[in-house]
A and B are shown apart, each in its own frame.
Chain A
């Protein structure tokens, strides 16, 4: 078989897809330009005063303490004295409420609303620069890089304030070398509740008493980590919050009169303790402001803001501490902190409300001007509107000041409104698309889908010699890419890789399509019978058959946000429908039941093919049984789904939370036992399957893996679960051992897994060769008569027929061996090969099994059940496919090729998506299971590649498993063939029928073309889904342009783009990436086995036939 063309075609196809996705994503994801200018004291922000005055004036506060309690949700900070049964996170911070009620002019507590994404690094960026986040930033959480925009810390440094920092080391990465003194502590290990907090507490009070600081930033992580580890509703959270209460009290006691205290959370958390999204639970943190000297000129009144946006802290702090507002801030000052015009009279250095607003507005206007000069993404009409508004306000303000009359309250209100509208405009437009790139990406993706489809239809032609090769498209691609690069170099002076890649991909696709078209017409001309087959697929009638209708429906469902939200159930629905379609279709063709023995029919209507009623009945019952299994596992898998925040009344599966979070020990034990049982069953079933087909007899690497590494792996995994589920305080004296085991067990599992996969790769053969008793076997009367008799013409033909013979003998001796011990010596060939019939599928199966256990390691323990269901469903799908193939084959419609029809492939790919959801994943960022990065690395990582790949493996586990196992679809009908025939031996099974996968070796060309077709079809199904989401996004965005009338609808759609479709696009694209790579791995493994089998035969045949 020709492996190289198959592999190279697949690689080329994947590369083209990747280029398309790369282009689209590059054009779609928004990028906000960073304005790298900084405000200085010299900037004339105030009218009527000479420049440079700004920083020299005595500020209202000389010093400030910023206590950042990560994930301090507003619910944690509120105190309800009437609540008699507070939950662990309620009423644990009484200090805030006490201070607010006893010293109302000194303190306030507000909800503090963060902008999504609510991840710590983005939030630190947000409340130091005052700018709004962009979508791309989300990816940087693992490696935060220094902030280049103007920010508060920089401004403090400029005016000579000494900033002391302690706590979360993210700050150190964001502001390297900006602090006067810095005490960072590692933040990455989510399980560690105390290191950062205790480290801060060691230094906090001593630093505060000392005098070498002006701004003190302390970032506590304990509450956040507690949420991640146990969730908010856990006694540990109560302890942590009580500790924080004490910290705030001690800090308040140590404050001087000239010091401002800000206690705030950077984001909230969901009920499960996670954050990152934009639900109100995640965005609403708390902010508490306090100073020993009166801070609020007026008592709390109705005009207090309900919610303080996070960016508003920046200008407020800047003005209170007397530093310029950072250049790119879009927040507005917090008015209650500033005295009104009358109160401000006489006080020096304290800006009144109106002055503060004016400084703020002027800074924002300046930023807007600079930004609109750099980038054109803010719509000009709203920009000019804002500019007009500002010039009107500024003239009004200046005239008021010049005339010295007291300003109207309306002016302040309109200044506030101006600031709010700037903020809203920025938020709405910081989505900078590159429509050209998006269109190019879409075009490439669409052509790639078309190419993939044609490739799958023409796979047989392509594998033949005269088919259109890959050489020309690749050469053209290289040339086009080079040309575009050269052109860019000449005209622009630099190369934009994306466009070169686009040109290369598009040209190679077009050339390939053209050549394919031409070669098809040639084949049609040569071979008239082929014509209907090639042209039939484009008629609408053939496109509406259920196997293609279902993926069409699936693609259509991606256009609607409701279906994306309910994707898990929708996909299950589709799988179920398509699975039911198989027996119904078979029944429609009259293939499901043995034909009734009417005399009429027996006479001539039905060709008397090799069909015996018992075989048919057996196959149909297998099919229906497997269908039942499939449906059962489908239904059960629904109980493992997670919940999106949009799904209101949805309870996430109890199996999703790791065992260590469960508090009921009995329930914990039950879950553990269930998980271990399903793990054991997984291992047992795999071994059972291999043993059944005689693949456990030899002594090669694969067999070693199956015999020893597989059980060992599952033992390791079971132990690891046990260790990680132990409550921390139960075995105090064994703590060291436990922590060692937490480190060693997963690493041992990783090692074993790698070893097993390597062994399978190096020695994939599972064939056991047994030489018979030499005296009789090598006697001169042999060679065995039968194949001599059948076709003894040329050595080539002889060779071809030897293989089935060998297999035949093996099969028989296996059966005899069980009965009589296999002692007799008749004239059988000298060689028996055990497990030859499943030589291709056995290593692949084992590979999948090992991989499954490895991926299970990265999941919460309860997911073992879901993985077991996955195995069941895989097996059921394979058997359904096999029996339906056999059933249609028995009735004579079997075409003789190995081609896999669409239905099982579509089912296979849908099942991958379905188990993506059934393993607790969702296409949203907050639902990424970050804990996977700490399996085996409880102390965190130094790099970013390893944790990122671990998380990717965790997220796309089902995609990987199904894609690697995809070639099994090709082998399974052949594997099951024997079983089917053995039941119906009565109907004259003659010799060469039962050869299982050796059929593939007999027709290498068909084998490779079938493999190519299978993989391209799978790629097509996968790839067809990917461009749909971009389309839906384009629709959404273009609707923005057209329909300015229905503003509400647009806003809603716009939100949906960012909330639903953009994450879905990211997940779909990376899922496609991972799947296609895994598919390539699977195909490569098959080719590797093929090479090994070829070598084995070369070694075997000389001494077998001679």
Chain B
């Protein structure tokens, strides 16, 4: 039914996944002493930067973003500003949630915030790209009958996978194995990233196999 869109989605996801891969490999070649565990914050920022840049570019090129009502420059600027604000607020929100989940409050605040940035660029940014700075729409999307296009369904799947991945990533922390990836927040950010990549793969596949059942009301 939506073969065209599914194909577009698959290629988009491939590009994003490649960007994640490059963001991991390139610094390893350029920065001396770079490793995912050792210089974890650097990895987080490089991957989230890459994902941010690539998704914004790709979604803008594809034109998935809902059309703006007005075409004035001021309106566009305000939208951009609001998006940046939402991005930042979402970082704070994730930070709070992670702290409430039991992350240390003061000691490794920078690590926690980096995790929040990663989560934001994996989840909120996509919402911003697909739905625009409109919280009402975000809340609406995450309900059973809330998806209004293939991209919305894809958004549901990737966001859920990322969040669940980060959640599962917290499990190995208390174990007494003394591995480098058990250090806060390595396991959680790795979990989030793995979940995100899984979501990238799963979304087109799932939509492809359920394309008969999917019906969207509007649009």
Are A and B interaction partners? Answer: yes
Residue ranges of A at the interface with B (Cβ–Cβ < 8 Å): 560-563, 565-566, 569-570, 572-573, 576-577, 584, 587-590, 592-593, 596, 600, 631, 634-635, 638
Across the interface, do B170 and A573 meet the contact criterion of CB distance under 8 Å? yes
Q: Which residues of A contact B142 (CB under 8 A)?
A: 584, 587-588
Contact A590 B174 (CB under 8 A): no
A566: which of B139, B145, B174 is its contact (CB, 8 Å)?
Answer: B174
A561 to chain B: closest CB distance in Å? 8
Given A565-B174, A570-B174, A577-B167, are A590 and B102 neighbors across the interface (CB < 8 Å)?
Answer: no
Asked whether A590 and B144 contact (CB < 8 A) given A573-B101, A631-B100, A635-B100, the answer is: yes
Q: 9 extra interchain contacts, Cβ-Cβ under 8 A, other than A560-B175, A562-B176? A: A563-B175, A566-B174, A570-B174, A572-B102, A573-B170, A584-B142, A588-B143, A600-B217, A634-B100
Whole-angstrom distance from the CB of B30 to the nearest CB of chain A?
36
- Please tell me which one of the listed residues A562, A573, A577 contacts residue B175 in the complex, with CB atoms under 8 A apart: A562
In the complex the two chains form, is A569's CB within 8 Å of B174's CB? yes
How far apart sit A363 and B167, CA to CA, in the bound complex (Å)? 60
A576 touches B175 (CB 8 A): no
Question: Can you name 13 A-B residue pairings with CB atoms under 8 Å?
Answer: A561-B176, A562-B174, A562-B175, A563-B174, A563-B175, A573-B101, A576-B102, A588-B143, A588-B144, A589-B143, A590-B143, A590-B144, A590-B146
A-B pair number, CB within 8 angstroms: 44
Enumerate the 3 nearest inter-chain pairs by beta-carbon distance, A residue then B residue, closest first.
A566-B174, A590-B143, A562-B175
Contacts of B170 on A, CB cut-off 8 Å? Answer: 573
In chain B, positions 123-154 with a C-beta closer than 8 Å to chain A are 139-140, 142-146
Q: Provide the residues of chain B in CB contact with A593, threshold 8 Å.
A: 139-140
Measured CB to CB, the closest approach of chain B to A1051, in angstroms, equals 15
Interface flags for B86-121 (1: CB within 8 Å of A; 0: not) read 000000000000011110000000000000000000
Say whether A589 contacts B174, CB under 8 Å: no
Which residues of the partner chain A approach B217 to less than 8 Å between Cβ atoms?
600
Given contacts A566-B174, A590-B144, A590-B146, contact A638 B102 (CB under 8 A): yes
C-alpha spacing A587/B101, complex, angstroms:
21
- Least CB distance from B40 to A in Å reads 21
Residues in chain A near residue B99, CB distance under 8 A: 635
- In the complex, A577 Cα to B140 Cα: how many Å? 21
- Give the docked Cα–Cα distance between A577 and B98 (Å): 11
Residues of A within 8 A of B176 (CB): 561-562
B167 nearest CB neighbor, chain A only: A577
Q: Does A590 lie within 8 Å of B145, measured CB to CB?
A: yes
Instruction: Report the minimal beta-carbon distance from A512 to chain B, rounded to whole angstroms.
Output: 37
Contacting B139 at CB < 8 Å: which of A561, A570, A573, A587?
Answer: A587
Looking at the assembled complex, report how far the CB atom of A714 sits from the nearest CB atom of chain B, in whole angstroms.
31
Assembly CA distance A561 to B174 (angstroms): 10
Q: What is the CB-to-nearest-CB distance from A37 to chain B, in angstroms, rounded to a whole number?
A: 44
> Do A576 and B139 touch across chains, with their CB atoms under 8 A apart?
no
User: B148 to chain A: closest CB distance in Å?
Assistant: 12
How far is it, in angstroms, between the C-alpha of A572 and the C-alpha of B103 when the chains are bound?
A: 12
Residues of chain A contacted by B167 (CB below 8 angstroms) = 577
B146 — which chain A residues lie within 8 A by C-beta?
A: 590
Q: How far is the CA of A465 from the CA of B3 in the complex (A)?
A: 59
Min C-beta distance of B218 to chain A, whole Å: 8
A561 and B175 CA atoms in complex are apart in Å by: 8
Q: How far is the CB of A586 from chain B (nearest CB, A)?
A: 9
Bound CA span A590–B147, Å: 12
Q: Which residues of B contact A570 (CB under 8 A)?
A: 174
A596 to B175: give the CA distance in the assembly, Å: 47
- B 160-202 to A, binary, CB cutoff 8 A, 1 in contact else 0: 0000000100100011100000000000000000000000000
In angstroms, how far is the closest chain A Cβ from the Cβ of B185? 15
Closest to A635 in B: B100
Interchain CA distance A649-B54 in the complex, whole Å:
42
Complex contact A573–B102 (CB within 8 A): yes
Could you tell me the distance in whole angstroms from the C-beta of A262 to the nearest C-beta in chain B?
40
In the complex where A562-B175, A565-B174 touch, is A589 in contact with B144 (Cβ < 8 A)?
A: yes
Question: Within the complex, what minimum Cβ distance (angstroms) separates A1054 from chain B?
Answer: 16
Which single residue of chain A is at the shortest CB-CB distance from B146? A590
Contacts of A590 in B (CB 8 A): 143-146
CB distance from B4 to the nearest CB of A (A): 26
Task: Report chain B residues within 8 Å CB of A562.
Answer: 174-176
Chain A residues with Cβ below 8 Å from B102 are: 569, 572-573, 576, 638
Which one of A577, A588, A589, A600 has the greatest number of beta carbons of chain B within 10 Å? Answer: A588
Q: How far is the CA of A596 from the CA of B146 in the complex (A)?
A: 11
CA distance A176 to B66 in the complex (A): 90
Please indicate the chain B residues that have their CB under 8 angstroms from the CB of A592 in the complex: 139
A562 to B99 CA separation, bound complex (whole angstroms): 21
Pick the contact of A576: B100, B140, B145 (CB < 8 A).
Answer: B100
A589 to B146, CA, bound (A): 9
50-97 of chain B: CB within 8 A of chain A: none
Taking the nearest CB of chain A, how far is it from the CB of B162, in angstroms? 14
Q: Give Cα A638–Cα B105 distance, bound, in whole angstroms.
A: 12
Which partner residue on chain B sits nearest A584 by CB separation? B142
Q: Give the residues in chain B near A584, CB-CB below 8 Å.
A: 142
Q: How far is the CA of A634 from the CA of B99 in the complex (A)?
A: 12
C-alpha spacing A635/B170, complex, angstroms: 17
B145 to chain A, nearest CB (A): 6
CB of A605 to closest CB in B, whole Å: 9
Given the complex of chains A and B, what is the CA–CA distance between A404 and B99 in angstroms?
A: 77
Most buried by B among A569, A587, A589: A587
Most chain A CB atoms below 10 A, which of B142, B174, B175, B217 = B174
Give CA–CA (A631, B175) in the complex, Å: 25
CA distance A584 to B174 in the complex (A): 27
Q: Which residues of B contact A635 (CB under 8 A)?
A: 99-100
CA gap between A573 and B144 in the complex, in Å:
26
Q: Is there contact, CB below 8 Å, between B101 and A576?
A: yes
Tell me the bound Cα distance from A631 to B100 in angstroms: 7
A566 to B140, CA, bound (A): 37
Nearest CB of B to A892, in Å = 15
Q: A338 to nearest B CB, angstroms?
A: 43
A841 CB to nearest B CB, Å: 30
A629 to B199, alpha carbons, bound, how many Å?
33
Q: Shortest Cβ distance from B176 into chain A, in angstroms? A: 5
Most B CB contacts (10 A, CB to CB) among A561, A573, A584 go to A573
What is the bound-complex CA distance between A566 and B139, given in angstroms? 35
Which residues of the other chain, B, contact A588 by a CB distance below 8 angstroms?
Answer: 142-144
Closest-by-CB residue of B relative to A647 is: B174
- What is the minimal beta-carbon distance from A637 to any residue of chain B, in angstroms? 12
Closest-CB distance, B166 to chain A (whole angstroms): 12
**Bound complex: CA A635 to CA B146 (Å):** 32
Q: Cα distance A635–B102 when bound, in Å? A: 8
Residues in B neighbouring A634, C-beta threshold 8 A: 100
A560's nearest neighbour on chain B, judged by CB, is B175
Please name the residue on chain A nearest to B145 by beta carbon.
A590
- Set of chain A residues within 8 Å of B140, measured between Cβ atoms: 593, 596
A631 to B176, CA, bound (A): 28
CA of A631 to CA of B145, assembled, Å: 29
Across the two chains, which residue of chain B brings its CB closest to A564? B174
In the bound assembly, the distance between CA atoms of A562 and B174 in angstroms comes to 6
Question: Which residue on chain B has the smallest CB distance to residue A572?
Answer: B102
Task: Please report the C-alpha to C-alpha distance between residue A635 and residue B175 in the assembled complex, in whole angstroms.
Answer: 22
CB of A276 to closest CB in B, whole Å: 23
| Complex interface: chain A residues within 8 A of B175 (CB) | 560, 562-563
Q: In this complex, what residue of A is CB-closest to B97? A: A580
| Alpha-carbon separation in the docked complex, A576 to B167 (Å) | 11
Residues of B11-56 whose CB lies within 8 A of A: none
A566 to B182, CA, bound (A): 15
Min CB distance A563 to B, Å, is 6
Cβ of B146 to closest chain A Cβ, rounded Å = 7
Complex CA distance for A631 and B139, rounded to whole angstroms: 21
In the complex, A101→B71 CA distance in Å?
Answer: 93
Q: B139, B145, B217 — which one has the most chain A CB atoms within 10 A of its CB?
A: B145
Residue on A nearest B172 in the bound complex, by CB: A562
Residues of A within 8 A of B100 (CB): 576, 631, 634-635
Expressed in whole angstroms, the Cα–Cα distance for A566 and B170 within the complex equals 13
Provide the residues of chain B in CB contact with A600, threshold 8 Å. Answer: 217
